[in-house]
Amino acid sequence: MKGRGIVGGRAAGPALVSAEPISFLGDLDIRTGEIVGALPSVRGRKVGGTVLLFPASMGSAGAWRFLYQLYVHGTHPLALVTAELPDPSVVQGAMLAGIPVVAEVPLDELLAVANGAWLEVDGDAGAALVSANAPG
């Protein structure tokens, strides 16, 4: 998947695909990384250690703190891949936490990724690749 690199860096991990936009301010429990918001496609799942794919972020000026706190608690996603440009506050939190972000990936491609598929994300190149190189 080709998009636009927003926050540089590389990460790899299993995909967690949300069909709904995500608010880091209210949809996630920062201590556990569990999705607690009304997001039917991913409610009850944990973002920690995943490459989180979602259509868009719904944010507020304080979203950066929640994304950064996920990092502090070790419950953060390894990378973010979005169809739309994320809110500036989400970008700020990702920068502070060292979480690569790739945006402007076509929504149909993003939603076609299976949960658990191994993804390699390159925030510098603006790319996310479904890979067969999963550890194990």
**Looking at the annotation, which residues are catalytic?**
60
Cα dihedral sign, 27-30-33-36: negative
Measured CA to CA, the distance from residue 92 to residue 64 in angstroms comes to: 6
**Which residues are registered as beta bridge partners of 7?**
101
The SS3 assignment for 71 reads helix
Measured CA to CA, the distance from residue 122 to residue 129 in angstroms comes to: 9
The SS3 assignment for 89 reads helix
